[in-house]
Amino acid sequence: MNWPGKAPEAGAPAPLAPLTPEQQRVYDTGKTLFNSLCMACHGDDGKGREQGPALIGSQFALASPQVPIRILLQGKEGSIGLMPPLGATLTDEQIAGALTFIRRQWGNAAGPVDPGTVKEVRAATTGQGQRLQPTPER
């Protein structure tokens, strides 16, 4: 059990740094997008459904931001399901928002995703045109 001013217990995860006002705005955009687009496959609780894998503790969603950005931009094929490419449909801010929401929801403790990073990854991967087939090491 933790409370302000209490020293963290040994082995306890470090508390998440609060979002800046701009990061909170991006998060809120992502929450709205998740609820209207992503929830159907991944569930409102992040536990996944038949069509989409769980996002709680997901090695892909919580990896370096470039990994989930590429998955959203270009899609992904693999044994745990198919993620359609959304790069042509979503803006950099929408992708950053959805990922920031996912990475900080349901007990996930990853950092926010910046729209500028999405823009860089989009520019670096434009024209590749094939879905990722990530291995567990990615």
What's the distance, CA 125 to chain centroid?
A: 18
pLDDT > 80? residue 6: no
For 29-69, how does the pLDDT look when each residue is reduced to its tens digit (9 = 90+)?
A: 999 999 999 999 999 999 999 889 999 999 999 999 999 99
For 66-107, how does the pLDDT look when each residue is reduced to its tens digit (9 = 90+)?
A: 999 999 999 998 877 789 999 999 999 999 999 999 999 999
DSSP one-letter code for 12 = P
Question: How many CB atoms are closer than 10 A to CB 133?
Answer: 10
For 103-134, how does the pLDDT look when each residue is reduced to its tens digit (9 = 90+)?
A: 999 999 999 999 999 999 999 998 765 554 55
CA 104 – CA 101 distance, rounded (Å): 5
Single pTM value for the model: 0.83
Start-to-end CA distance of the chain, whole Å, equals 34
φ and ψ at residue 50, rounded to 5 degrees: -55, -40
Rounded to 5°, the CA angle 17-18-24 comes to: 135
